[in-house]
Amino acid sequence: MDIDDILREVDPTFDSIPVETRDLQALTRAWIAERSAPELLDWPADGLFERINDRIKKQIEKVEEMTGDMDPKTNFALIVIQTELERFKFLVRSYLRARVAKIDKHTLHYLSTADLRLRLSSTELAYATRHQALLHHHYLSSFLSSFPASLQNLNDTSGNISMIDTPDVDTAVFIRLLRDVVVRGKGTDVDGAAAGQHGDIFILRWSDAKGLVESGSAELV
């Protein structure tokens, strides 16, 4: 902990950041992280998206109310609000699409264990389950049904090759440190470690960065 952290704790403005702004920050952060991480990350559990959805609805209503007004001043405000709304929508849309793309790519992997299932929101889980069922049915009706019964599975692991594709957790990611920690990375020959300071940016494997990101010591950039 350095002087900045202490200052931040006693800073009266820190707690006074309205929840709206903090939600936007949380959303932006989740969006950036989701887009750069090779793996699906946890679905924000604290009702972030319910709040955001409500707010978008409210803004849309407001826009509808204001459209009737012909006053140039309102008109300008209207444009600002609408632009803001479009940007908000884009964030949510892009975030959800990034997740769906990952889920689609490794459906069976994310459905395989209860632990991984927890990362999906309930709607995503329903979507993934249904999509996989559809795909399986499609394969079955296209060609699998005429295969010998022992070969009809989609999750065979015989022959040392698992049919379930998993995300590559060794992809490189960029992280920014949020506090001073020692960053450890696995190397080909030797493992490396570096003392990182708040604000430093590192590039390392996601498997090494994951712990730091999850503990809140770093964020993806």
Q: Which residues bind another protein (CB under 8 A)?
A: 53, 56-57, 60, 67, 79, 82-83, 86-87, 89-90, 92-94, 96-97, 100, 104, 123, 126-127, 130-131, 134-135, 137-139, 141-144, 146-148, 151, 154, 159
Pick between residue 145 and residue 215 the one whose CB is nearest to another protein.
145
CA pair distance 131, 216, nearest whole angstrom: 33
Cβ 144 to another protein shortest distance, Å: 8
36 and 220 Cβ atoms separated by less than 8 Å: yes
Half-sphere exposure of 196 (CA within 13 A, CB side): 23
State which amino acid sits at residue 219: E
What is the SS3 assignment for 172? Answer: strand
| Closer residue to another protein, CB minimum distance, 18 or 148 | 148
**Nearby residues of 120 by Cβ (< 8 Å), 6 or more positions away:** 40, 43, 103, 110, 128
User: Which amino acid would we find at residue 203?
Assistant: I
Which lies closer to another protein via its Cβ, residue 79 or residue 193?
79
Nearer to another protein, 26 or 135 (CB): 135
Please, what is the minimum distance in Å from the beta carbon of residue 65 to another protein? 12
- Cβ closest to another protein, residue 138 vs residue 186: 138
Q: Which is nearer to another protein, 25 or 75 (CB)?
A: 75
CB of 193 to another protein, least distance (A): 37
In the complex, minimum distance from the CB of residue 161 to another protein, in angstroms, rounded to a whole number: 8
- Partnered with residue 185 across adjacent β-strands are 192
- Is-contact 195 137, C-beta < 8 A? no
Q: How far is the CB of 92 from another protein (least distance, A)?
A: 5
Smallest gap from Cβ 174 to another protein, in A, equals 20
Distance, CA of 63 to CA of 136 (rounded, Å): 45
Rounded-to-integer distance, Cα 96 and Cα 147, Å:
37
